Amino acid sequence: MQVNGKNYQTIWVHADNNQIIQVIDQRKLPFEFEIIDLKTPVDAFVAIQNMTVRGAPLIGVTGAYGIYLGLIDANSESWKTSLFKNATYLKSARPTAVNLAILIDEIVAVLAECFSHESACALALEEATRLKRREIDWSESIGEYGCELIEAISISKNGEPVNILTHCNAGWLACIDWGTATAPIYKAFLYGIPVHVWVDETRPRNQGARLTAWELSHEGVPHTVIPDNAGGHLMQHGLVDLCIVGSDRTTSTGDVANKIGTYLKALAAYDNNIPFYVALPSSTIDFMMMDGVREIPIEQRDGEEVSHMEGELDNGLITKVRIVNPGSAVANYGFDVTPARYVTGLITERGICGANPADIFKLFPERGGREKKKG
Ligand code: MRU
């Protein structure tokens, strides 16, 4: 997608040195646009953990490139041992988004069949790049399917702008290109359907205010940033036509883990009869998991993300200030789980389905999980 009119993706191989992976440093946005180099699996692990890269699809692809960087680093006698060690290490960087484990397991399964270190290195680069390409295709497909929902609402409103509420950043920054929740919005905008996006600020890290708003600005999509607690009010007053959010892990039963605060938006949407869709690629579906509230591991992050806030002073200086009473305890749960009953549908790369096992496995019959095995 566009940054100052130039096309970017969130991760790529260095043009002059294929042993370096480059990413946009998302901690600095929207104030500074910086690209940083990843040269080792430790670099990839740290980038995922400190949220230089973030969003479920992107951390999955970064993990896959981390495996490649680990192989380059490895001793040609013991490369297989370090491959498995690095897989366990990289998977532990963040617990909630299942894409990380899924993509790492996928690339490791292919590499484990290699007979030589040299061929494993070449294949790792090829495979990580294939997984990246696949995520882009899936995002674009999600965009096309989701756009049909926006178009239908637009027709029912006689072409008045469709107001879409989104939470966190499930945009191209969280993926490689297009995004998940934003993909239908970008497609609708490209096709000339009038849209307006309500962007939840998304405390504590403000991915909405900082990243989604930045993305939408660069694409020219009309949007308004709102405090997290404003959504319910807007819904009660007919100002939201549709909610679309992303996901970090969705169970085979349709329970959706996403950025903290998503559940409350789903409850408000349910109470106001507003469709609440989750846009996600199949690399975010945990086909083996059935009970999201009990089983999905919820990341807890540093309390400083709650007690402090970062921003730009009028003189351009980036600074961090304390916003919580000194000495008060803080808690920082990164994600929550929206039970399937509040989800109108899942927008996937294969189409839109109900948030229930029958519909999910109908779209992905080859992925029969526990539910299927039982029957
Ligand atoms: O903690 P983050 O910023 O990585 O959380 C990201 C989200 O919750 C996104 O909504 C989710 O990963 C979907 S991304 C397409």
For the CA of 51, the closest atom of ligand 1 is 4
Q: What is the rounded CA–CA span in Å between residue 91 and residue 358?
A: 30
Q: What is the rounded CA–CA span in Å between residue 75 and residue 95?
A: 29
Summarised one tens digit per residue, pLDDT across range 232-271 is 999 999 999 999 999 999 999 999 999 999 999 999 999 9
Summarised one tens digit per residue, pLDDT across range 63-82 is 999 999 999 999 999 999 99
The one catalytic residue in 43, 228, 241, 248 is: 248
The number of CA neighbours under 13 Å toward the Cβ of 135 is: 33
Tell if the pTM clears 0.85, that is, is over it: yes
Is domain 144-367 annotated with CATH 3.40.50.10470? yes
Q: What is the rounded CA–CA span in Å between residue 31 and residue 67?
A: 31
CATH code that applies to domain 2-134: 1.20.120.420
Residue nearest to atom 5 of ligand 1 (CA): 55
Q: b/e for 68-89, b at 16 or more Cβ within 10 A?
A: bbbbbbbeeeebbebbeebbeb
Assign 368 a pLDDT band (cuts: 50, 70, 90).
confident
pLDDT attached to residue 369 = 54
Residue 248 designated active-site: yes
* Nearest to 353, CA basis, from 211, 146, 163: 146
CA 22 to each of CA 34, 123, 142, 295: distance values in angstroms, whole numbers, following the listed order: 10, 19, 26, 34
Summarised one tens digit per residue, pLDDT across range 291-345 is 999 999 999 999 999 999 999 999 999 999 999 999 999 999 999 999 999 999 9
User: What's the start-to-end Cα distance of the chain, in Å?
Assistant: 44
251 ligand 1 Cβ < 6 A: no
Residue nearest to atom 8 of ligand 1 (CA): 259
Sorted by where each begins, the domain ranges of the chain are 2-134, 144-367
Q: What is the rounded CA–CA span in Å between residue 350 and residue 294?
A: 28
For the CA of 181, the closest atom of ligand 1 is 15
Summarised one tens digit per residue, pLDDT across range 97-125 is 999 999 999 999 999 999 999 999 999 99
More reliable by pLDDT, 369 or 27:
27
